[in-house]
Structure 1
């Protein structure tokens, strides 16, 4: 099973690791109160996981979970604090708590950072399946970053790296679009999807997305220099507007990087589920 735990939800599904696809009709998602007491949070997670496992007719129950940190992903201890989510899990062992509720061994649960799970899924069965190394960005309400080599993806944790006059996430997330659009037009929007829907008639859209593409290129120039990937994979809601910033992005890349494929993620919300479940592929963790 692949599980995606976010700041306000949990999603889970059974995944066929041979076909690299989610099994039909096993996908479940529900809201989670991230400010609840620890037992209530674990109960909520466990309830959905048990429901998904009801579709499993036979075989060992094994789980891969993509979840934001900070955590000790090997032991399962949470260090999430002061992030307006899951504070009550601080210092607790999530593997042990879940295993008790679900009634499976703790060593049948594996954890992975959610940004890394996204790239793991895309390289396992999505846009990056034919590459031996890659970097990934999830562009949305926040900035997720990851790198992939030798069959395993890792969190790059570059959201708060120094960038221009602030940090990278301030320029490569929804809030940049909201703030910059207000500066240009004097009008308020809440998301990028709204902006994209007005692309044909809005006089500010071309400049807005060109600036974003230039910012993203500057960030990628640094990221690529460090990781030397074969491909770059872009996911998250903002990546759906790739056609609006692709040209500016490619122009802004340093000449030696312009031949590196820049790919839009294929799996969408399934990426984290496929990536987390693929932790049980024998060739990944041997």
Structure 2
């Protein structure tokens, strides 16, 4: 039980999400999910104590000692040593230059060697390759399309931040054209009306044909962006997640046609694990140990 169970954690700017993951079934264990708000502007003790409280609560759902913890953490961060390098980002400034691995281990009464970190942007893709849409592939790229544009690259058993959101694109950067804000801005330009998000746009499809044209435009932009990403990374498959991926049937067929124009024919699929991807991805850092 001990070796086959790991704790997966996703640290965000305002929350911590954690759950126990069965590394044999590659899935979150029912009833162990905990998502709690954290004051990332707080003092060191406040942050560490807040994280430790969630970890202890999740671990209370099993009689086994949880010896392995995987944490998806925002950057910049020294993932090997466990030292936070975040500064001036309105989150976790108090942890700057501190060894978070040692602080958290001490608070939990465990060894620092029981904690491993991974970049949070790569965590989603790590999970999808371990247990979802990318399973059995060795070179994968992933995108999360939502409030912002996330990108990740998986190779040699580990996913890392692709950091493509700021790639120069058209009159700005890629994130300007491949995020919720582009849909909101573009729809206001063509209709004069404001919508909150992509979900709100979809509800109007029956009464406004221009929305389908919007998704066509988005597909062309995404195809242009992805073609460069694919040619540089040479993946076997592309996985698309994030809230906008829920509307994949409105842009994925067009996206594939755009890529075919560039002589790109690799599979492009949507993510399958949802919010569990990051937790499974973080916990999977211990899979090799479990197999040993």
Which TM-score tier does this pair reach, normalised by the shorter chain?
Answer: over 0.9
> Aligned residue for 1:29?
35
Per the TM alignment, residue 87 of structure 1 is displaced from its structure 2 partner at its CA by 2.3
Instruction: Give 2:87's match in structure 1, choosing from 77, 81, 87.
Output: 81
Distance 2:255 2:51 in 1: 39
Distance 1:285 1:144 in 2: 31
Q: Which residue of structure 2 lines up, in the alignment, with residue 52 of structure 1?
A: 58
Alignment partner for residue 70 of structure 1, among 67, 72, 76?
A: 76
Paired position in structure 1 for 2:4: none
Q: TM-score, normalised by structure 1?
A: 0.95
* Equivalent residue for 1:221, pick from 212, 227, 233: 227
Could you say which residue in structure 2 is the equivalent of 1:261?
A: 267
Q: Matched residue pairs, number?
A: 286
Q: Does 1:156 align with 2:165?
A: no
Q: Secondary structure of the residue that 1:253 maps to in structure 2?
A: helix
SS in 1 for 2:87: coil
Residues in 2 aligned to 1:178 and 1:86: alpha-carbon distance in whole angstroms:
30
User: CA offsets, 1:143-190, max 9 Å, x none?
Assistant: 111111232212111111211221111111111112111111111122
1:152–1:284 Cα contact (<8 Å) kept: no
Sort the Cα spacing of 1:58 and 1:191 in 2 relative to 1 into closer, same or farther, 3 A. Answer: same
Alpha-carbon offset, residue 60 of structure 1: 4.3
**Distance across 2 between alignment mates of 1:48 and 1:31:** 10
Q: How does 1:161-200 map to 2 (within 5 A)?
A: 161-200=167-206
Q: TM-score, normalised by structure 2?
A: 0.93
Query: Which residue is equivalent to 1:93?
Result: 99
In the alignment, the residues of structure 1 paired with residue 263 and residue 276 of structure 2 have an alpha-carbon distance, to the nearest angstrom, of: 29
Question: What is residue 137 of structure 2 aligned with on the other side?
Answer: 131
**1:226, 1:211 → 2: CA distance?**
24
| Partner residue in 1 for 2:239 | 233
Q: Judging changes above 3 Å, is the alpha-carbon distance between structure 1 residues 44 and 60 closer, same or farther for their aligned structure 2 residues?
A: closer
User: CA offset at residue 74 of structure 1?
Assistant: 0.7
Is the Cα–Cα contact under 8 Å of residues 59 and 66 in structure 2 kept in the other structure?
A: no
Unaligned runs of 5+ in 2: 1-6
Cα shift readout 1:232-263 (whole Å, capped 9, x = no counterpart)? 00011111111111132122215455421111
Q: Contact conserved, 2:124 with 2:281, CA < 8 A, in 1? A: yes
Q: Distance in 2 between matches of 1:42 and 1:125?
A: 30
SS of equivalent residue, structure 2 residue 97:
coil
**Runs of 5+ unmatched residues, structure 1:** none
